[in-house]
């Protein structure tokens, strides 16, 4: 009897040793916790721009979300939500690289985000990936690829459902077409973007697309006018943007102020451009990584230098700006 008891105990112990550990359950509370971390990253990005620190934090958060899905069990709804969030967080890392003017690094992030968005089966997540792919292509001066990406955006299912997404797709297309020297098609695309945006007014704008406000629409329009050589119209758009952009969007306010400085310089308003450029630089926190902003100020300086202006205040600004960029 005693021997049988020992054998049973040994057998039970052996089975327990080889039995797989019970997988943790990934629930809504876990997804909510990851969402809060993502929201904090978004706030830091809006303030600081493309710092490598924010980019790395986004990569790390996305990895933790993916690991939680891999080692745990979850309902289909929570699993899809987790993949969607991982895609969004990876897109944020990609946008940090874009703001730092590192489009090849951004493309690496976006290749991963494309897979995650596909696993989420969420059309808005997929749309965001294509938006950022378009921006990365544009930074690499591959405007044909950028235009093709914008075509995917504006023909997507979410763009067919929601005029706000349709508007952004048309606006991205307008920018790419302007850089391909197709002005009539570009202006038509911008007109379609403006009309779609007008239809979207009054609706809810949850999630990432909420960045696309009237201020942002005007800013993107200014890029089209700039590419078409219409610098006075670009300046008008940027004034409207800066009058309405939220105060907490520090990086974008500085970026669009830098573009305003460039538009003024290209119209020969050299001293005004210097004052505006200085204001843009002062807006950026010391730890900002927004290379898009500093690069725009560098282009402004080159435009001002080519005028040959000898005014002491302008010469002083040129030397001062060399310490920023």
Residue 24's SS3 state is strand
Residue 73's SS3 state is strand
The per-residue pLDDT for 301 is 97
Buried b (16+ CB within 10 A) or exposed e, 10-49: eeeeeeeeeeeeeeeebeeebbeebeebbeebbebbbbbb
Q: How many residues belong to the chain?
A: 325
Beta bridge partners of 72: 24
For the chain, how big is the Rg over CA atoms in Å?
25
The per-residue pLDDT for 9 is 46
The residue whose two tokens read 């843009």 is: 280
The per-residue pLDDT for 148 is 97
The per-residue pLDDT for 22 is 59
CA angle 98, 164, 103 (to 5 degrees): 10
| pLDDT tens digits in sequence order for the chain, 325 residues long | 444 444 444 444 444 444 445 567 888 888 999 999 999 999 999 988 888 999 999 999 999 999 999 887 889 999 999 999 999 999 999 999 999 999 999 999 999 999 999 999 999 999 999 999 999 999 999 999 999 999 999 999 999 999 999 999 999 999 999 999 999 999 999 999 999 999 997 766 778 898 999 999 999 999 999 999 999 999 999 999 999 999 989 999 999 999 999 999 999 999 999 999 999 999 998 889 899 999 999 999 999 999 999 899 999 999 999 998 7
Buried b (16+ CB within 10 A) or exposed e, 196-210: bbeebeeeeeeebbe
- Asked whether the beta carbons of 85 and 136 are under 8 A apart, the reply is no
Q: What is the largest CA-CA distance in the chain?
A: 107
The per-residue pLDDT for 73 is 86
The per-residue pLDDT for 193 is 98
- Asked whether the beta carbons of 251 and 99 are under 8 A apart, the reply is yes
Return the axis-axis angle of helices 103-120 and 76-99, rounded to nearest 10°: 170
pTM over 0.75: yes
The per-residue pLDDT for 207 is 80
The per-residue pLDDT for 17 is 45
The residue whose two tokens read 């290209």 is: 266
Separation of alpha carbons 135 and 98, rounded Å: 7
Separation of alpha carbons 186 and 179, rounded Å: 9
**Contacts of range 79-83, beta carbons closer than 8 Å, 24 or more positions apart:** 79/26, 80/119, 80/120, 80/121, 80/122, 81/31, 81/120, 82/26, 82/31, 82/34, 83/116, 83/117, 83/119, 83/120, 83/122, 83/125
């Amino acid at each position: 009897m005693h021997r049988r008891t020992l054998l049973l105990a040994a057998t039970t112990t052996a089975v327990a040793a080889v039995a797989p550990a019970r997988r943790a359950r990934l629930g809504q509370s876990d997804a909510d916790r990851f969402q809060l971390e993502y929201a904090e990253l978004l706030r830091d990005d809006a303030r600081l721009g493309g710092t490598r620190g924010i980019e790395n934090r986004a990569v790390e958060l996305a990895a933790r979300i993916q690991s939680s899905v891999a080692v745990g069990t979850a309902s289909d709804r929570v699993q899809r939500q987790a993949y969607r969030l991982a895609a969004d967080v990876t897109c944020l890392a990609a946008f940090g690289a874009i703001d730092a003017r590192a489009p090849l690094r951004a493309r690496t992030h976006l290749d991963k985000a494309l897979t995650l968005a596909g696993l989420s089966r969420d059309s808005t997540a997929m749309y965001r990936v294509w938006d950022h792919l378009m921006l990365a292509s544009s930074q690499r001066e591959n405007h044909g690829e950028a235009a093709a990406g914008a075509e995917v955006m504006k023909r997507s299912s979410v763009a067919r459902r929601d005029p706000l997404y349709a508007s952004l797709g048309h606006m991205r297309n307008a920018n790419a077409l302007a850089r391909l020297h197709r002005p009539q098609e570009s202006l038509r695309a911008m007109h379609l973007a403006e009309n779609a945006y007008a239809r979207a007014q009054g609706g809810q704008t949850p999630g990432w697309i909420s960045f696309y406000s009237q201020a942002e629409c005007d800013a993107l329009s200014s890029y089209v006018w700039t590419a078409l050589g219409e610098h006075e119209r670009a300046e008008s758009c940027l004034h409207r943007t800066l009058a309405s952009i939220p105060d907490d969007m520090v990086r974008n306010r500085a970026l669009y102020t830098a573009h305003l400085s460039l538009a003024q310089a290209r119209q020969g308003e050299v001293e005004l451009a210097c004052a505006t450029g200085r204001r843009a630089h002062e807006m950026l926190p010391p730890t900002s990584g927004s290379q898009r902003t500093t690069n725009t100020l560098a282009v402004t300086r080159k435009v001002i230098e080519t005028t040959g202006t000898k005014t002491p205040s302008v010469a002083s600004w040129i030397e001062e700006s060399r310490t920023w960029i």
